[in-house]
Structure 1
C-alpha cells in the first residue's frame, strides 16, 4: 500500500528543512520523531558507520524494540551493509523475501517493511542511514522517498556542520589555551609588559605591574602610564616613547632607558624600559609595546661601588696627606735633632783628641757617651715612628753579604777591642748575596753585633756566619731559597721563659739595672726591619753559654768578585771645598781638617754660589750639605756631574747631611755622590775619608 503525505505533514517537513540545529544529534532526534509521525511508521532511526560497526545516533520507537541511541551493531546485522551500496533511497515492501530476508532482528520485532536514504560526507562517501520500518507490508511512494532523501541530505549537512563546529571549537580551545599560556607566561614574568594605545593610554599590563603599583590590571587599563614615573624622569620617558613611536629607536641595541618609577610602598624602583612601535594591518600606528625590567639592585650596587670608591679615594688622599705630613715631620725632626748633636759629639771628640787628663778627660768621655746614647735613641725611635707611619721606603736589590758584614764588623770593632772580645767571621767572602736594602741590612747586623758585644763577657767571642738554613729550622725548606746570617755570642744567655720578651720594645730583660748602656728599642726595631725586608728573625739561647740570633733573607744569585778601586795619586797640597751654612758644623770641620796640614779648607755657605766656587777653585774633594739656602745640595751635585770639565764631573763629592730620610743615601749615590756621611759627623770617619781621597806625600 502506497501512502502519501498530508498537507500538515508537508508543512512540518518544510519547517524542519528550514530550521538550524545546534548539532547533528539534535537534528537526528527531531527528524526521527517528525518522520515517524508524518509517515505513520513504527520505527525510525539514524545510524552512523564506524568501521565494521554501526552506531545508532537517534531513535523514535513505537514498538519498544530495545534499540537505543549509542547502541553499536555489526554491519552484517543491519540494513547498512547492503543498502549503502546504492546511490539513493531504497525500500522493501515485505522483508520476508528479498535481500533482507536473512536479518533476524526485524522479524523478531515483527517489522515487515523498510525504507532508507543514505547520509553522505562532503567527498561523496556514505556515512550512515536514515531508516524507516513498519509492521505493515507497505509500498513507500516516490514522494515519501524524496522526503527521506531530502532529510538525509539535511542530516548530512548537519553532520558536516558538526565537523566544522568541532574544528572551530578545537581551534577556539587551542587559541584559548594558547592565550591562557601566553598570559600565564607573561604574568609569571618578573618584567612588566605594557601595551599603550596611539593616544598614550594603557590597553594592557601584566600581573607584574600590580606588584609594583599596587593597582589591579583592570584599574590600570585606560590610564596614563606617566602617572607612575618619577616627575624628574617623565621627560626622559616621554622622549624615549616618542623615539620608539617614530621608529627611530627600534633596532638599536642600546634602545633601553633607565627610568625611576614610584612603587606602591613609596620607594623608587629603577626600571630599564625597552619598547617598540606596533602597527596595524593597514600600516597605521596602533600603539606601543614596552617591557620594563627592574634594575634597582644593579643601580644601587653600582652607586654603592661609586660611593665606596669615592670614600676610598678620599681616604687615600687623606692618608697620603697624613703620610706626607708625617714624612715632612720626620725629616724635620731628624734634621733638628741631629744638628745640635752634631756639635755636641763633634766638639767632644775634638776635646778627646786634645791633651786632657784626669777629671777633664772623664767629663768629656761622659759627654761623648751621653751624646752617642742620645743619638742611638733618636735613630731608633725615629725609625720606629717611620715604620708605624708607613713611610719607611726600601730599595730592595741584590746585596753582597760579605761586604755588608765587613762594614758592620768595622763599626763595632772598637767597642769589642775595649773589652777584649774577639770578632770572628769567615776568612773568605764567598760572594753570597741576598735581596735586601743595603743600608737597612747593615743596620740590622750592627744592632745584632752591638748587642752581642754589649751583653757578652769580657774576653768573650762573637762569631758571625752565613749559610743556607737547615730544613729543621723555622725557615720552611719548601718556600724558596734563603740565606741565614747568624750572630753568636758567649754571653750569659737568656732564660727560656724570657725568650718571647726579647723583641718587646723597652724591655731590657733586667739589663736596665746594670751599667750596660741601651734603650730596649734596638731588637724590636731590628725585627720590624727584617720583616720589612721580607725576612724572618729568631734566636736560640742557653743560660751561661750565650745566644745566637739569626736572620733569614731571600737569597739572590751570586756575583763575581769585583776588583778593588785603584788608589788615588798622592799630592803635596790639596783643596777641600765645604758647602755648609751651619756655623757650628763649619767650625767643627775646620778644626778636624786642621789636623791635616796638607789640606786647605774653603767654605761656601750659599748653595747658589757653590757651583761657581767649584769652577774657580777646582778642589780635590767636595764636602756637600743638602739643605742649603739658594740651591739644594742635590742640584749642586747634578750640576757638577753634568759639567763638561772632567775635573768637575769626576770630582770626589762626599754628601755630609743630617737628612737620613729612607732611601736618601741611595738616591745621592745614584745621582753621583762618591760617599754619604751622616751627621753627627764621626771625626775618625771624616779623617779616614780625607786620607783616602787626599793622601799625604
Structure 2
C-alpha cells in the first residue's frame, strides 16, 4: 500500500510540475502567471490556501500579497507579515525571505504565535514557505497552508522548492522580456519568449533530427559549449562529442531509455511524444578544454510509425551552482570537524572539573568539618575568630567551586530541570528567614510582598528556584549599604486555569549598575569596574548561572538599574502548572540533633583519606557507637563479610575498589542485604541520585559533611534518645 501511495504522489507531483511549467512557458503577464501557479497547487492537491508575497524594500519591510488562491481570503486580510527583525518578521514567510531557504512551521511553534489564533479559525495546522530567488536576487516567497501538521516532509519540501525555482525563473524571464522590449506590446510568439528566457537563465535549446543526424543549436548553446557558430558541423553526434568521457556512457544510456519510454507510451496511447521532466546533470568539455557542469532535459518526437523522429531539449550551465555546492560541503565538513573538536574539549573539561571538584572537596571536607567541631570546644575569643575565619574561607572556596561546576554543566547542556509540585510558601518563608537576618545585621529593611492570589502549590524545580532567588536576593543585600531590599511575588493567570506566569521582583536601594555595564551583567566572569572587588568579593559567575537556569526553566530575567539609585531584577517563569486541589504536602521534619544520643551501634567508615575518617570518627566520639574503618572498597567488603554493621558510611571515589563496586558486592552478602549504606560524595546532581538508588545506596551526604547533617541521616536508621527527655 505504501508503494502505491508513493506512486500516486509521484504521479501527482509530475502532473503539477508539468502544468506549472506549461504556465511559465505560455505566460505573458506576471500577475496571471502567479494566479495560475497558485490555482494549480490548490486544485491538484487541495491545500486550503496558497499565496505569493513580494518583499517591499521600504522602512517597514512589509511583504505584499501579489497572488493567492484558496477557500477564503480572510486570513490574508487579517494578518500583518514583514521580513524585518520585528515580531511580524519571525514567521515562516519573513524568515524564509531573510534566510533565503525553505521554512516549515506547525501552528504550535513559538515563532508562529502572532498568527496562531487567526490560523486556527481557518483550520491551518502547518505552513511552508519557499524563497523566490536567483543567486543574490530575492523576490519574495510562495507559501502553502495545510490542515494537517507535519505534512511537509523531505520529499515534499524538495518538490515545492523546485516549483519555487521554476516560478522564479518565470518571473525573472517575464521581467527581463518586459524591460528589453518596452516599445513592443508583446512578444509575437512563445518561441521568441523562450529565447529571451534561455539567455537569462543561461539555458540553451537544441533540436536533433535523428533521421538526418542534423542538429540545431540556439545562441545560448554555442555560449555554453564555447564554440564559434561558423565552425559548427551541425551533426547530432557532436552532442556526445562534447560530453565528458566519464559521463558519456551514462548519457547515451539515458537517451536510449528516453526513446524506449516514449515508444512504450506511443504503443499504449498513440501519442507521438511524452513530456516528463527528468533533468540529468553531467559534465561537458568546452572548446577551450575547460570542464563545465550542465543540467539537461529532453523529449522525443516519434513519426507515425512510432519510430524516433527528433529530440528537443534544453541545457543549462550550472557550473557556478556546483562550485558553490562543493564549497558548502567543504565548509560543512570544516564545521563538523570543529564541532567534534569542541565536543572533545568539552568532555575533557568536564572530566577535569569533576576530578578537580573531588580533589578539592575532599581536603575541604576535613578543614570545614574540624573547624565546625572546634567551634564547639574553644572558648578563647581570639581562637574563636581564627576558627570562624577558617570556616568562612573554606565555604567561600566551596562556593567558588560550585559556581564553576554549575556553569560548566550548563554550558555542556548537562543540567536537567526536574519539576515537581512544591509548597511555594514554604520556600519563600525559608528565603525570608535567611535574608531577614542578613539584612538586620546590615541595618537594612527586608520585606516580602506576596500577592493574595498566589497559588500555594506550583510545579517547578525547587532546587534551582532556591538557587536563583538566593543569588538575586543575596546580591541585593550584598550591594546595598543603606535603605531596603524588597521582594514581591505575583501570578498572572492564563486562559488555561491550571497554568500561570509566575513573576518575581527584587528591588534594592544599593550601588546600582552603570548603563554601560547593563548589557554585560549576565556574562560570566564580568564585574563592573566601579565595584570594589575587595569589599564585595564574588566570582562574577552568579548572574551568568542564574540567567541560564532561568532560560532552562522556560523563563526570562530582566534588570533595570541606575548608578547610585539601586537595581530591580524581574524574573518571569512562563506556563507554570498549579494545583488548587492539594490540601497538604508532607514536609521534612528537621529534628534538633544537639541532644541526640544513639543507642549501641556498629558503624563501618570507608574512605581512602585518613583526615576524612578521623572527622567522621570524631562526630561519634561521645556516642555509644563502635567504629570500624576501611581505606578502600575491597577492605570494606571483607569486613562486611566477617561482621554485621548497623550502618556503613561509604566514600564513592577510592583506589583499588570504588564505592559503587563495593556496595554491589556487599549487597550480595546475606546478612548485609538490608544494611543501610550511606554514600559520601563531593558532588551530587539530579542524574547521580538515580544511579545511587540503582546501585543500592540507602541515602547520601554531600561533602563537606556537617555534624548536624550526619546525625539527621543517622536518625533515619539508628535508635536514639534525647538527653532532655
> Is TM more than 0.5 here?
yes
2:715 counterpart of 1:682? no
Rounded to whole Å, the distance in 2 between the matches of 1:583 and 1:256 is: 77
Rounded to whole Å, the distance in 1 between the matches of 2:263 and 2:658 is: 65
Q: CA 1:325–1:581 in structure 2 vs 1: closer, same or farther (change >3 Å)?
A: same
TM-score by length of 2: 0.55
Say whether the 8 Å CA contact 2:479–2:511 is kept in structure 1: no
Q: CA 1:407–1:416 in structure 2 vs 1: closer, same or farther (change >3 Å)?
A: same
**Residue in 2 aligned with 1:129?**
none
2:363 counterpart of 1:340? yes
After TM superposition, give the deviation of residue 361 of structure 1 in Å.
3.2
After TM superposition, give the deviation of residue 334 of structure 1 in Å.
1.9
**Residue in 1 aligned with 2:313?**
291
**Residue in 1 aligned with 2:282?**
259
2:577 to 556, 574, 583: 556
After TM superposition, give the deviation of residue 546 of structure 1 in Å.
8.7
After TM superposition, give the deviation of residue 229 of structure 1 in Å.
0.8
**Residue in 1 aligned with 2:501?**
482
2:233 counterpart of 1:210? no
After TM superposition, give the deviation of residue 509 of structure 1 in Å.
5.9
After TM superposition, give the deviation of residue 268 of structure 1 in Å.
0.7
Partner SS state of residue 296, structure 2: strand
- Unpaired runs of at least 5, structure 1: 1-179, 472-479
After TM superposition, give the deviation of residue 615 of structure 1 in Å.
7.3
**Residue in 2 aligned with 1:598?**
624
- Unpaired runs of at least 5, structure 2: 1-187, 266-273
Partner SS state of residue 225, structure 1: helix
Say whether the 8 Å CA contact 1:397–1:435 is kept in structure 2: yes
CA distances 1:416-458 after superposition (whole Å, capped 9, x unpaired): 7978999887999986355544332222233345446656789
Rounded to whole Å, the distance in 2 between the matches of 1:346 and 1:249 is: 92
2:235 counterpart of 1:219? no
Rounded to whole Å, the distance in 2 between the matches of 1:365 and 1:633 is: 33
1:530 to 550, 553, 568: 550
Tell me whether 560-569 or 576-585 shows the greater mean CA deviation: 560-569
2:378 to 336, 355, 372: 355
Rounded to whole Å, the distance in 2 between the matches of 1:302 and 1:509 is: 52
Q: CA 1:431–1:498 in structure 2 vs 1: closer, same or farther (change >3 Å)?
A: same
Rounded to whole Å, the distance in 1 between the matches of 2:363 and 2:243 is: 74
Rounded to whole Å, the distance in 2 between the matches of 1:613 and 1:330 is: 33
TM-score by length of 1: 0.57
Rounded to whole Å, the distance in 1 between the matches of 2:695 and 2:585 is: 21
Rounded to whole Å, the distance in 1 between the matches of 2:396 and 2:224 is: 76
Rounded to whole Å, the distance in 1 between the matches of 2:676 and 2:336 is: 46
Say whether the 8 Å CA contact 1:539–1:547 is kept in structure 2: yes
After TM superposition, give the deviation of residue 684 of structure 1 in Å.
3.1
Partner SS state of residue 328, structure 1: helix
2:680 to 656, 670, 679: 656
Partner SS state of residue 393, structure 1: coil
After TM superposition, give the deviation of residue 679 of structure 1 in Å.
1.9
Say whether the 8 Å CA contact 1:204–1:217 is kept in structure 2: no
Give matches, 1:114-153, under 5 Å.
none
Number of equivalences:
500
Structure having the higher Rg: 1
Q: CA 1:513–1:242 in structure 2 vs 1: closer, same or farther (change >3 Å)?
A: closer
Rounded to whole Å, the distance in 2 between the matches of 1:548 and 1:318 is: 41
Q: CA 1:615–1:295 in structure 2 vs 1: closer, same or farther (change >3 Å)?
A: farther
Say whether the 8 Å CA contact 1:669–1:676 is kept in structure 2: no
After TM superposition, give the deviation of residue 291 of structure 1 in Å.
2.1
**Residue in 2 aligned with 1:130?**
none
CA distances 1:465-510 after superposition (whole Å, capped 9, x unpaired): 6332699xxxxxxxx8322345677xxx325665886847344965
Give matches, 1:85-100, under 5 Å.
none
Say whether the 8 Å CA contact 1:614–1:648 is kept in structure 2: no
Partner SS state of residue 443, structure 1: helix
After TM superposition, give the deviation of residue 557 of structure 1 in Å.
1.4
**Residue in 2 aligned with 1:237?**
251
After TM superposition, give the deviation of residue 390 of structure 1 in Å.
3.9
Rounded to whole Å, the distance in 2 between the matches of 1:423 and 1:277 is: 91
Rounded to whole Å, the distance in 1 between the matches of 2:244 and 2:328 is: 24
Say whether the 8 Å CA contact 2:283–2:291 is kept in structure 1: no
**Residue in 2 aligned with 1:625?**
651
Rounded to whole Å, the distance in 1 between the matches of 2:210 and 2:531 is: 93
Q: CA 1:587–1:408 in structure 2 vs 1: closer, same or farther (change >3 Å)?
A: farther
Give matches, 1:355-504, under 5 Å.
355=378, 357-387=380-410, 389-391=411-413, 393-398=415-420, 400=422, 401-405=424-428, 432-433=456-457, 436-451=460-475, 466-468=489-491, 481-485=500-504, 493-495=509-511, 498=514, 503=521
